[in-house]
Structure 1
Amino acid sequence: MTDTYYERLVDEDALAAYLEEGLGSAETYEIERHREGHSNETLLLTWGDRELVIRRPPPGETADTAHDVLREYRVTKALVDTDVPVPEPVLACEDHDVIGSDFYVMERLEGDVLREGEPDRFADPAARERIGEELVDTLAAIHAVDYEAVGLEEFGYPPGYTERQVERWGQQLMWAFETTVEEREVPDLYEVGSWLQENVPKEHPDTLVHGDYKLDNVMYGPSTLPDLVGVFDWEMATLGDPRADLGWMLSYWRDPKDPDPAVPELTATFMEREGYPSRLELVERWEERTGYEFAHERFYRTLAVYKLAALGEMFFRRYLEGNSDDPMYPKMEERVPALAARAVRIIEGEEPL
């Protein structure tokens, strides 16, 4: 992390004044950047005896709606008293004079986010099975939320959600291509986008959807038995098609039979070990828990990889424009074409569920 980039993320004096007004004075004030994510920025905050987290967008120009942290605040506030485990939100700020963007503050949870591997206490088949079960059961709990009862009835417009997803991510991709086309083109993504437009399911269930649900966006508590204690990164949440959430989660889940990952730097493979459920087993459990069928599975898995490619291309644009110091972003020059090829394999039945 360069000092210059950090200074673009937070004005420590202005933030301290804001926190003092909202939370009261504190003798201890410490803040550091958490580098694990690759989209919104996460800052770890100590304010007195409270351990907190700040979420804000990256600096610089971003695609419309791609980094809506106040949306994240709203949905987590609504879910605090439901069966969906979320960190409790504390403050939300729209005043860009504080740190240069919208941001919100939430309580910090204790536990493990499984990104590159499993903690030793989970290294046995029974625990591994429960990791997968907890992951899919929590997704089912999200899809079971009575969104009207928690005040989210105007949080989205479910009819036409899936068609809009195809259109929206195509637009995000075109936004990225405005700059990245000068470096190289990805023709497969035009073909994938056309296939998705032609194969959008005409009907779908309507539920709360997370929009970015995957293993490294949840936390398991410190207990010996895997217990999912928190779901993070809600900025893409809305009301829509729960099967899109499932397809997205599955795009990150590995089976032993899978080809090499398209983006190895962002793809955990430890769930190929003995005990972890297969993708098909996760689907069957989700269907059992929700009562929904995972119909049109090739469409939803292709859509997920298309979205991954669009995100990667947006990362690449941000790198080219000098708006990130993330070492992952320049690698998208090669990784996005690999994702496009994966989407084509799913369409053609060469990468089955």
Structure 2
Amino acid sequence: MSEGDAPGFDAAAFRRWYDEQRPGELAGPVRAEVIAGGRSNLTYVVTDGARELVVRRPPLGHVQATAHDMRREYTAMAALADSDVPVPFVRAHCTDDDVLGAPFYVMDRVDGVAYRSRAQLEEVGADDTAALAHGMVEVLARLHSVVPDEVGLGDFGRPAGFLERQVRRWGKQLEGSATRPLPDAETLLARLAGSVPDDGEPGVVHGDYRLDNLLCVAGDPHPVKAVVDWEMATLGDPLTDVALLLVYDGLAQTPGGAAIADAPAAPGYPDRETQLATYETAGGRPLGDLSFHLGLAYLKIAVILEGIHHRFLAGQTVGEGFDRIGEAVEPLLASGLDATAGRGGGGGSFTT
């Protein structure tokens, strides 16, 4: 690699391309540094010594473009730039693989922290932790208040049949990643397939909304500075974001789940009822019965963790905590059955 390059990033090629897109913005030679990468999208900080930009591209050796959709991320953030949802300012999008070997986009760097762990939140204290989580839920409510047509996202997805497709999608994902018999998964899938709610008013769905996909400044009156990682964004039922956030937050109390998300175990982090009340007060969608949505969220995360467990058993994933992730799958599926008991027959339902 030449000076200024990074894995998957040719500094000279990028500079030539960027100068054509936004002439005069960069003053000198650029250099790049990877700040996040691996199986997810690669993220670089790129600087000319005076300005800092962020570049996102798919991982090296990626196969499925739809799994790492740069256009989707760019489109979502560009559309939301003038909304009440804080997003980084996006500057350019490249579809030419000849520049960096894959599509990518460029955005401004946002000062803020992605809080991923209990230890990080313990450093800021209980009061600021509560404020961060409050801000997180308020921003989600603002996202769900966006009218897609008004921001140019009217054709961003296929909202009709969204929930039914989600059930099928995660069932197929499980078929390809299961490492053992999971009878509760079969029961949960059947229950969800038989109780899909009618399509409601479509909205913008982030698809992976949680604290570590936000850039925040603790102690600030408006702590959420940017929502990032929009690769799963679409149009559909926004309550899937709410349910997924609740289930992510419960991982800290699930065997093996703390390796994925233990931030919600920090002092000051609000409980589920407080978060739902915040969402409604902030003008989020009417919640009503979340039984189906919670069941779907439990299924989705269980399938994701079973896939990680599958890769761990195959020696494809290394790192602390991966040896226990498989323990969380069956408790999550059992929780999904509990959540859907009201819809699937027997027991109550989760309502607000």
Query: For the residues of structure 1 that align with 2:111 and 2:35, how far apart are their CA atoms?
Result: 15
Residue 287 of structure 1, CA deviation: 2.4
* Residue in structure 2 matched with residue 89 of structure 1 by the alignment: 90
Distance 1:91 1:288, change over 3 A: same
SS at 1:148 equivalent: helix
1:264-304: per-residue Cα shift (whole Å, max 9, x none)? 222124x3344322111111221233363323423222212
The aligned runs of 1:244-255 (5 Å cut-off) are 244-254=240-250
Pick from 268, 277, 280: which aligns with 2:270? 277
CA contact (8 A) 1:111 1:220 kept: yes
Residue 139 of structure 1, CA deviation: 0.3
Query: For the residues of structure 2 that align with 1:346 and 1:44, how far apart are their CA atoms?
Result: 40
CA contact (8 A) 1:312 1:329 kept: no
Is residue 290 from structure 1 mapped to residue 286 from structure 2 by the alignment? no
Aligned-partner residue type, residue 21 of structure 2: G
* Fraction of identical pairs, as percent: 34
Aligned-partner residue type, residue 93 of structure 1: C
Pick from 221, 225, 228: which aligns with 2:224? 228
* Residue in structure 1 matched with residue 3 of structure 2 by the alignment: none
SS at 1:295 equivalent: coil
CA contact (8 A) 1:122 1:224 kept: no
Distance 1:313 1:26, change over 3 A: farther
Residue 58 of structure 1, CA deviation: 1.9
Distance 1:202 1:350, change over 3 A: closer
Give the TM-score normalised by the residue count of structure 2.
0.82
Aligned-partner residue type, residue 14 of structure 1: A
1:86-114: per-residue Cα shift (whole Å, max 9, x none)? 00011111111122221111110002211
CA contact (8 A) 1:72 1:235 kept: yes
Is residue 268 from structure 1 mapped to residue 273 from structure 2 by the alignment? no
Query: For the residues of structure 1 that align with 2:275 and 2:116, how far apart are their CA atoms?
Result: 19
Residue 238 of structure 1, CA deviation: 1.3
The aligned runs of 1:190-209 (5 Å cut-off) are 190-209=186-205
Pick from 120, 124, 127: which aligns with 2:126? 124
* Residue in structure 1 matched with residue 322 of structure 2 by the alignment: 331
Query: For the residues of structure 2 that align with 1:94 and 1:287, how far apart are their CA atoms?
Result: 40
Mark the runs of 5 or more structure 2 residues left unpaired by the alignment: 1-5, 342-348
The aligned runs of 1:43-192 (5 Å cut-off) are 43-62=44-63, 65-117=66-118, 118=120, 122-125=124-127, 127-174=128-175, 177=176, 180=177, 186=182, 188-192=184-188
* Residue in structure 2 matched with residue 3 of structure 1 by the alignment: none
SS at 1:109 equivalent: coil
Distance 1:58 1:186, change over 3 A: farther
1:6-60: per-residue Cα shift (whole Å, max 9, x none)? 64x3334433332343344542422122237762221222134221111112233
SS at 1:133 equivalent: helix
Query: For the residues of structure 2 that align with 1:276 and 1:194, how far apart are their CA atoms?
Result: 34
Query: For the residues of structure 2 that align with 1:291 and 1:225, how far apart are their CA atoms?
Result: 20
Residue 159 of structure 1, CA deviation: 2.1
The aligned runs of 1:330-349 (5 Å cut-off) are 331=322, 335-336=325-326, 338-348=328-338
CA contact (8 A) 1:145 1:207 kept: yes
1:149-186: per-residue Cα shift (whole Å, max 9, x none)? 11111112222211111122233334xx2xx56x6565
Residue 140 of structure 1, CA deviation: 0.5
Distance 1:154 1:43, change over 3 A: same
Residue 187 of structure 1, CA deviation: 5.0
Mark the runs of 5 or more structure 1 residues left unpaired by the alignment: 1-5
Specify which structure has the bigger relative contact order, considering alpha-carbon pairs within 8 angstroms and separated by 6 or more residues.
1
Q: What is the number of equivalent residue pairs in this alignment?
A: 335
Distance 1:16 1:279, change over 3 A: same
CA contact (8 A) 2:126 2:269 kept: no
Distance 1:148 1:216, change over 3 A: same
